[in-house]
Structure 1
């Protein structure tokens, strides 16, 4: 066995030496009062001091990066405690209580919150090591006992008195219960430990049938096991069992039975050794509880919540049903990154307490999932508030500031709600539905909530299914490029083309460019898809320019993800070099929302594009989004206006007057105006009079394949480019 004193132990800080010594002294004092320790107190205290140093080293080691800790040292520590007779349930409880509190008061483990999880892990491993060491010692003792008994029986003809004396000594001093029966199960010898377990004096049990002491549910099975042992089908019985105490209560034991043979190697007796399993069961139950609960908040974790949810669904009122709420703190990363992990953990603890307080009057099951996500399952009763009221109460409680280190912390919360699902709904389905509702709530911004609707869920699932299969469709060439004319309003001549995405999934129908982009953004496909679209468009437009000898421009839009991509310039330069497309003939549209929010590298990318010679364009979708104010500060070549701004507006209305002023405002910054979505000649005349230069829309032609666009360019454009 490895001596814990030989383990590599980091030196404690100077102010921690005395605290360690005091903690070891307290530990030794409390353990020494429980039972017999085979050492003088000074030596025992020195042993525990060495063990304490080893445990401190394990706490340090478990926190080191790339280091899982040394399980061997903990096994050695557990074995040493077992050797010192400190492996009983009471001793383990004292050890866990003293060290659980004491370690976190040592100066080297401050602040305690940072070391709490390590200390719990090390103490849990120590407890398990003690139990394993005790079990091994018990098994070794049982094996030794069996060998002693076998030898005593075999030598009984010559040394009966000596063998009987040895057996009596072993049985009397053993902490395990020993029951010797004849071959029909009648007890002939019972030691004191077995009597204590069963609440009888040993002589009260002698002469009784062993199987009368077995719980009725297990009696017949155990009889069959003993018959198998007698016939030689098995060499030993080793199993968990339930015996009956004198008061009728079941006693959980670990039972090991062997067959004793006498003269001529004939079976003579059964010897049964039983070990009280109550303390071990309690420890196992506690470890199981910790595995099913969140260490930080004490709430059931996701696994426990799902299991208990299955049971609660079956017992819910068939009329009122249940309500499941899925909550997530908005911008939780801001607290964690700005104030540190401790503040974030304290906030989560406070949120758990607030949830318990709000739901105290309801029959509810609470859980903490991953990160800042919680779940609440309410068994609806006659007085249970409707979902709107529940959400209101939860949001009101969670907006109350929680003070951590002098900072008042309060975050908004997004909530997804599933109310009164079908009675035969399964827990997994409800969890998925609540997650979908939460996802939709978060898509609407912070502090929002959404009620699950089956029809909306169906549409969301169809959208998610399309997003999931889109990468495969792109890989197989089913996602294609489409082109529409970019026309000069002054004379109707084709100035260039806009390249867009098109996909026609089987059974769904053609999807627009915007629909394709939303799906691609969902899975992160937009970056490689956008690079492919740019390259395809540059090659096609370059071929048209060569064949038609016309100075065609190409317009391509970027999604917010693309606009903020740190590798945007690298991707674009690579495509331009590969296709030899002139940068000054490329118009790249960036979404105004990404610029206004300054997402990622969006503003830097715009400036880099302009420096490269590319013509940046900003899209404007409304009157109040402030896009034109951005134009004055950025190197923007064009502004793209939505023709839909004209819908339902009288030509002489004040709003129409504002729209007429937009091109002039853009011109003052040096930007041209592109109008999107023109469908009528009247709209074309309006924007031409307002001063707009370019336009796209169905009035001039919708998105189409290259061969379909050939008629716009003339006969020479009808030929296809070479592969």
Structure 2
């Protein structure tokens, strides 16, 4: 058995050196789960610690194999072979192995993962077959030995032969050199579904070739030993069993010789491997299909998409995201959510039944539809309408009629040999752009818009590294009284000098952080730095927060830590919350305003849209100030602003901004 070994240096405990702690934790969790799954499927006493060490070694080797530049998936067959060698021969053992490894490597190259899973399954099936074949080989060897002894002692060899021939679990057939069947043992007659004696039939029906082998099957056997000549050979062949059902068998063909060493008989030892073949096919299917819906999964779909791109003509790819799955799961139950996904799978398949199409499920609530366009393939708008119409029929789950909608992103291309992952990304980005307009929307790929979006997303993705490496700075701009120009505070403003995209300002940095989920870390760093600066300079500081930071339930704790660390007086910190946070978290924003007031922190509001809730909030919480942006140039907007400023000032709030009637302004 080949040994699969990791090709990367390892630290103590099996974790790759230099790997982040979270990677080690994920590895440990996966190995522990794998260990538990295997132990649950064996009755033999085993050392859990020893098994965990053995699985950890193979886990590291699989991880190295998936990430290796020179990808050799066949090396993964050792894992399947090892399972059989160590006694985990229950089909559930390989099933849980495929499940655990497939789930843990979901973020890796899907094509590599699919090939590694297939190699594991192939190694398992091969070892099971080899174990069975070993038993078959023993029978064949015993038979060959018996025939050889016939030359020296006919009586003894005949007795031994008869014992092996009649008691063997393997089917044995003996043919003359012309290929005529001379004799078949009871096991073979049972295997192919014939009784050893038939009332009213011939006395020896097993001797009739037609009773055991149809002409085509007999011809295949003759062809196999003709090709092998005098040498022994093995073939896998399908036979016809009871009721016409197929029987797959491993056939060992050998030549029996007379006392002079001349070929006299052909001997076929036939082992039924139907169950092993079914297991192999099942494992292959499980590795390449979604268990819930039966559709092809991501590992199966990507090679199909690659083949479609290699053929002439155009293709249409639809990336589809089912709305409300989480709502159904939480509101009605996960069983209902699963049934809804199964219904969606059936309906999508029905929509494209007349096309050369593939429907696959590649994520929790994400499906893809690939159509190799033909003369009758509808336009994208007609296809979107057909899918929407089919899905809009209510799905009855637990007695409730649930509506199904889906966002869709379409790409139609005739590019040959394109990048599969790039095409999938284009469809997905089109879907996300459509979903920004609401649920149940669809869109068509726009290369220009996609290029702009990719540039912005690439910039957002690099923000954590920029923050970690000190590329994001804080500018402190004076906040002055409009009346006399006296400085009353400084405003902390973020600035990111990105070499490729230029200067990214404060508002964009906040928006990027909210998009990426980095707002908590960025806000904590901004407050710490601003408070430390204000404490040293002895001047109040205005810190403008993002929408997510403004409705963060832990905001007061973060502000308190910044004040304690810097020693800054609470009244010298002016925290400006984004009014955009009111839409999705009014209660949390109000709680933050109240708590900050109790701490003695000055509170402001920015992003002010002159809404009634915002005006009410200013009065109810007696805010220290309101930051107003420059209004549009239309006279009505300026008139509305002129009326708003006195109203805000009447509450005691300072008006901050480059607008008429403002009390304070941030200078550049």
Partner of 2:634: 649
- Alpha-carbon distance in structure 1 between the residues aligned to 2:532 and 2:582: 29
- Alpha-carbon distance in structure 2 between the residues aligned to 1:493 and 1:362: 74
Question: Which residue, out of 528, 531, 540, partners 1:538?
Answer: 531
- Alpha-carbon distance in structure 2 between the residues aligned to 1:347 and 1:410: 10
Question: Which residue, out of 630, 646, 666, partners 1:664?
Answer: 646
Task: Give the structure-1-normalised TM-score.
Answer: 0.64
Match status 1:302 vs 2:295: no
Structure with greater Cα Rg: 1
- Alpha-carbon distance in structure 1 between the residues aligned to 2:417 and 2:586: 45
After superposition, residues 443-592 of structure 1 pair within 5 angstroms as 443-545=436-538, 552-592=539-579
After superposition, residues 71-470 of structure 1 pair within 5 angstroms as 71-72=41-42, 139=133, 142-146=136-140, 148-149=142-143, 151-153=145-147, 155-156=149-150, 159-172=153-166, 174=168, 176-178=170-172, 191=184, 213=220, 222=228, 240-242=235-237, 253-256=249-252, 272-277=268-273, 280-315=276-311, 318=313, 321-420=314-413, 422-470=415-463
CA gap of 1:605–1:264, structure 2 versus 1, over 3 A, is farther
- Alpha-carbon distance in structure 1 between the residues aligned to 2:394 and 2:531: 55
CA gap of 1:446–1:74, structure 2 versus 1, over 3 A, is farther
- Alpha-carbon distance in structure 1 between the residues aligned to 2:467 and 2:633: 39
Aligned to 1:510, what secondary structure does the other structure show? strand
- Alpha-carbon distance in structure 1 between the residues aligned to 2:344 and 2:553: 36
Question: Which residue, out of 600, 613, 617, partners 1:630?
Answer: 617
CA gap of 1:503–1:620, structure 2 versus 1, over 3 A, is closer
- Alpha-carbon distance in structure 2 between the residues aligned to 1:385 and 1:141: 58
Q: Does structure 2 retain, via aligned residues, the 8 Å contact 1:241–1:253?
A: yes
Task: Give the structure-2-normalised TM-score.
Answer: 0.69
Question: Which residue, out of 654, 664, 667, partners 1:694?
Answer: 664
CA gap of 1:190–1:610, structure 2 versus 1, over 3 A, is farther
Q: Does structure 2 retain, via aligned residues, the 8 Å contact 1:172–1:191?
A: no
Deviations 1:154-195 (A, max 9, x none): 65466422321332353355453435689x998996535779
Gaps of 5+ in 1: 1-62, 76-95, 97-127, 230-236, 546-551, 679-683, 702-723
Aligned to 1:539, what secondary structure does the other structure show? helix
Q: Does structure 2 retain, via aligned residues, the 8 Å contact 1:324–1:419?
A: yes
Partner of 2:199: none
Once structures 1 and 2 are overlaid, which stretch shifts more, 554-563 or 601-610? Answer: 601-610
CA gap of 1:512–1:655, structure 2 versus 1, over 3 A, is closer
Deviations 1:653-700 (A, max 9, x none): x4332211212332344432222xx3xxxxx5xx22xxx32222xxx3
- Alpha-carbon distance in structure 1 between the residues aligned to 2:514 and 2:497: 18
- Alpha-carbon distance in structure 2 between the residues aligned to 1:372 and 1:431: 16
Deviations 1:467-508 (A, max 9, x none): 333322222222111122222222222221211211222233
CA RMSD in angstroms comes to 4.3
Deviations 1:345-374 (A, max 9, x none): 222223223323433444432122222212
Aligned to 1:450, what secondary structure does the other structure show? strand
Match status 1:595 vs 2:573: no
Q: How many equivalent pairs are there?
A: 536
Q: For residue 589 of structure 1, report the CA deviation from its aligned partner.
A: 1.7
Gaps of 5+ in 2: 1-32, 46-90, 92-121, 195-204, 211-216, 241-245
CA gap of 1:495–1:137, structure 2 versus 1, over 3 A, is closer
- Alpha-carbon distance in structure 2 between the residues aligned to 1:167 and 1:600: 89
